Every structure is written in C-alpha cells, then in structure tokens.
Amino acid sequence: MDLSGKVAVVTGAGRGLGRAYAEALGAAGAAVVVNDVDAAAASEVAEAVVAAGGKAVVEAGAVGGSEVAQRLVDTAVKVFGRLDVMVTNAGILRDRVLWKMSDEDFDAVVEVHLRGTFTCARAAAVRMREQGEGGRLILISSPAGQRGNFGQTNYAAAKAGIVAMARTWALELARANITVNAVVPVAATEMTKTIPVFAPILEEAERTGDPLPDWVRKDEGLGTVEDVAGLIVYLASDASAGVTGQAVGIGGDKLTLWSHPQEKAVAITDGGWPADAIAAYWDGGAGFEPETYGIPAPKGA
C-alpha cells in the first residue's frame, strides 16, 4: 500500500498497538502526527518513523476534551498541509467489578476511550469535509465491547459505544466520501496482559521467549501488535474506499468481520405479549437458543 501524500493522526501512539499503527503508516508513506499523553514516548516513536525514512511530528496530550482533539488536527494541517486519516487508539484501563467500581474509575475510562474518540473524530471530520477530498476515520474498539468482559464495565461500554458511533458516522459522512470503520484488535500488549483469559499465555511466552502457539494465533486470533497494523494501513488506503460502517477484527493469523446486532428470533401474537404469555413461550420459542456473553476462554488453555 502506498500512502504517499496522505497525513494521519494516531492517538495513544507512544507504545503497544498505537506505536505499531504509527510506524506502519509511516512506512507506507504517510506523514504521521504521533500523539500520546507521554511526550517522551511519543517523541521516541516519531524519531523511529523518521529514522525509517518517514515523516512524523509529535503532539502530546491526553485525549478526551475538544482542545487536545483540535490541536491534533491543527498540527497535521500546519506541519503537513492536510489531514486524511484519524486513528483513535488512545485508551486506559480501570478494571473493577461492578460493586467495586467508583465513579472516578468509570468516568476516566469513558473520558479517554469514548469521549476522546468522539472529539478527535469530530475535529477530523470537520477538517476533512472542508478539504472536500474524503478521508478515513479508523476507530479502535475491542472484543470486550462486542461480547462484554468480567471486571470491565467501563471499558466494555466505551468500546461498544465506539462501534455504534462508527455505524452512525458512516451514514452521516457518506456524502463527503469519508469512510468510518471500527477495528477490533487482539494482540499481546500490556493492556492485554490484564485480561485474565490471556494473561497466563502471554506471561509464559514472555518468560520463555517462544512465539505464541499456533492455536493461539489461529483459533484465538492473538499475535503481535505488528500483526494488527496491516489492517490500519489498508483502511487508510484508497483500496478501502468501499468499506465503511464495519467492525473488522484482526489478530495473529485471523481476520474477521463482526456481525451487526440484529433480531435473532421473532414471534408475533395477536394483541401483544403480557408477562404470563412471555413466560409460557420463552424457553421453547424466542429464548430457545440464548446468545452467549463474555470473551470465551482460550480453546487450548
């Protein structure tokens, strides 16, 4: 993919997945605005992009509010002349079970993930519409937002909201030729290590230095951060012009398209459904095969 002439912003790009996205976009020819709350980490990534022959500039700050979002767009335009791609990757974790989660735990995660995605995407959309040449909004979600995950009320809610925003904005921005997609990545990162399902597998691989088992890469779709970056480059490119409103999963050797919520079972009765009629019908009717919930335990664990 040749992204020469395109300008991208990547939030939360100081480490992990965000760093992989920024470096891959830079290697493909895009000029990159590297954002992170850690200015030193962002500078290190920008230097790596430049050392590899790319173009990059740092704009540090914690995403969430409108001021930082606007600075990211303004920096892209001031330094590189335009904005073509916004990757909203920044995020934090404050994991607690429901009865132990504080208001502060909930608000902090929603502020960065959900509000930060909203403010950055809004600022980018305004600029892209002014340019009149289309653009790409690439919003980073999570399997937790698709299925739920124990101890992650705040994170799962925010990530589910991000997919809903992608679908909505795909409708609103279609006439401006701005595509909007959600990416559902799975990769070995510091954040992934906090998820009980994957923590033992990742710790073992880190301890031994061995690659992740083949069943982990294929069945679970869990690999390195570099495994995910190709999807970001594709969605940033002209080749993905017809792809919008989708939730696309990637990790390890696995590429997936997540389904959108839809009615699975439908029953109609004259006069509506009083409670006793629902109770009599449910187990053998609409509720015969209930949906699963939660991230499944690894098959090979």
Query: Could you give the count of Cα atoms lying within 13 Å of 63 in the half-sphere of its Cβ?
Result: 34
Q: How far does Cα 133 stand from its chain's mean position?
A: 24
Query: CA–CA separation, 276 vs 279, rounded Å?
Result: 5
Catalytic residue (one of 6, 141, 159, 240): 159
Secondary structure string (H, E, C) spanning 57-68: EECCCCCCCHHH
Tallying the residues shown for the chain, one arrives at: 301
Contact 98, 153 (CB under 8 A): yes
Catalytic residue (one of 21, 155, 237, 240): 155
* DSSP string for residues in 259-284: PPP--------TT---HHHHHHHGGG
Centre a 10 Å sphere on the Cβ of residue 59 and count the other Cβ atoms it contains: 22
Contact 176, 260 (CB under 8 A): no
Q: What DSSP state is assigned to residue 290?
A: P
Catalytic residue (one of 6, 141, 142, 237): 142
C-alpha dist (Å) from residue 155 to 87, 194, 247: 18, 12, 17
Active site residue 159: yes
Active site residue 259: no
Query: CA–CA separation, 278 vs 252, rounded Å?
Result: 43
Active site residue 218: no
- Mutual angle of helices 116-131 and 66-80, in 10-degree steps: 40
Q: Looking at the annotation, which residues are catalytic? A: 142, 155, 159
